[in-house]
Amino acid sequence: MNPWPGTSRSPGQRGFTLLELLVAMAVFGVVAVMAYGGLRAVLDARQHTDRASRALAELQMAFSLLGRDLEQVLARPVRDEYGDVRAPLRFSPFSDQPRLDLVRAGGPSGLQRVAWEVREERLYRLYWSGLDGVNPAEPQGVMPVVGADDAQQPESAVLAVRGWSLRFHHTDETGAFAVSETWPLEISPGAPEALPRAVELTLELADGAQLTRWYVLP
């Protein structure tokens, strides 16, 4: 006997019960949650990989640019805005804003004055158009090398530089190898155009990692 008046059902045919529909929806929900979790894990891994790639690109560019500057450094003293002679390579970790100043080959005149400094958790490269008598507080250009913001992708600033240190490897008056954290040497500075044999750079990132590079000077 057909329990539903006005309907007909062929022999062996039956519909889904409410319980079966609920079970099917529950299974579908579980599968959807698992699929979303897997997709989210893939997207997070991709984002982490992209950030790591950008961080590596920033570091490679920074080490490459600084290496070019140091490899082309010239023993050409400069005069500051007061006319005093300054060494072609200078750095002091005890100043309020430690800065690596140097004179390198390049620029429109064949010589260029550049500097490197860390401030606001970024590594900057500065340069001037002239050599003598320029104001060190007014560089012609400032380029953030590590930790540079992208206006379209603010998250691209993936690196933050907590600090840096420099060690200058040279030979003392006896011919033995020595190391100094400042240049030129405060004791027995020698000729104003003297240069160290090599520069050891250590960058300390915000995550605690320390990266060290050596640069041999000409």
Q: Is 13 exposed, middle or buried (CB count within 10 Å of its CB: 0-12, 13-18, 19+)? A: exposed
Structural domain boundaries of the chain?
Answer: 47-216
pLDDT tens-place string over residues 79-99: 888 888 888 999 999 888 899
Give the whole-angstrom CA distance, residue 99 versus residue 148.
Answer: 19
pLDDT tens-place string over residues 22-58: 777 888 788 887 777 777 777 777 777 777 778 788 8
pLDDT tens-place string over residues 113-172: 999 999 888 899 999 988 888 888 888 889 888 875 544 444 445 678 888 999 999 988
Q: What is the pLDDT of residue 187?
A: 52
Domain 47-216 has CATH 2.40.50.100: no
Percent residues over pLDDT 70 in the chain: 84
When the pLDDT of each residue in the chain is averaged and rounded to a whole number, the result is 81
